[in-house]
Structure 1
């Protein structure tokens, strides 16, 4: 009895590891089929694939594109081949530079967002430490014991590291907030 083949729906695979495995298997299969077509039909092929991460995979039936089997070519054919390869290399380099530029811009934007968040946290901490003294004087005596214990715990959890960060030149600040133990 012949096993029935299950048709799969052609759509993006959401699971990243499954997508990478499928990409690898299908890429190998595609290159194998192109090679078989070249042998069976005496034709040439060229396949260029860019992965989701921008990695280039290329294959060609012409061994000359790989720098092999060049002895039979004349000067004009060698120059034409050289120009084709240079054109391919220029397109790859341009794509690579565009990706690098894009990633640098994204990282700069994320860095600016992190700096803004850091500055906001510093302001919030400054307001909290200044406001706790005023707030303590306005509460009742019964609450004062709990608040001073909380302030002691909070101030012991609040630490600053005055060593300079090599990249940003700013102080490192950390804050831990929580209820006091035994309260």
Structure 2
């Protein structure tokens, strides 16, 4: 349902009038705050209730907003006069230019230039500033040197550990090489002995030849004895 349009006129009921005032005042202040935030505007509101109570809202300083309003009301801008925004921009530019000039002068003084216009107090202040800055520079320099020394020490320890590990590997490799050479010499020696034994046996003849001769002689004697015994037995018979 559409809301019923309220007729804009004075509310005669005091209670209803006070309730409506409180609601409308809060809504008005809320809209003023939104306008100041969204549009980056300076907004100031002053409201007096029917009983004479003051209510106010301002996006910045209310007194400054009132002063700007007074100045603008007393001296309205002429057609050829720059606008307020341009005046503020020119003022900011002049202030920034002055700050740059002051910073440039201080920098030249710290370099030892343009010191003619300085009095004793200004020179002492400049000297103290330089001493403080020099102490900070020396402290930072010393810290960086110590960091580099610690880094080099750590790197040196790593190199020593790597060198030790490589030496151990070389010692193990050398030990394994010596073992391989010793095993090779032993194998060659054993092979040499086997060849010499074979040569000796070849020159000496078959090793079982004399044994076979002795065995044949014994067999002949045994056969002779058996024949002699058999002959004696047959003779007796």
Question: Fold conserved (TM > 0.5)?
Answer: no
Higher relative helix content: 2
State TM-score, norm by structure 2: 0.34
State TM-score, norm by structure 1: 0.44
Q: Higher Cα Rg: structure 1 or 2?
A: 2
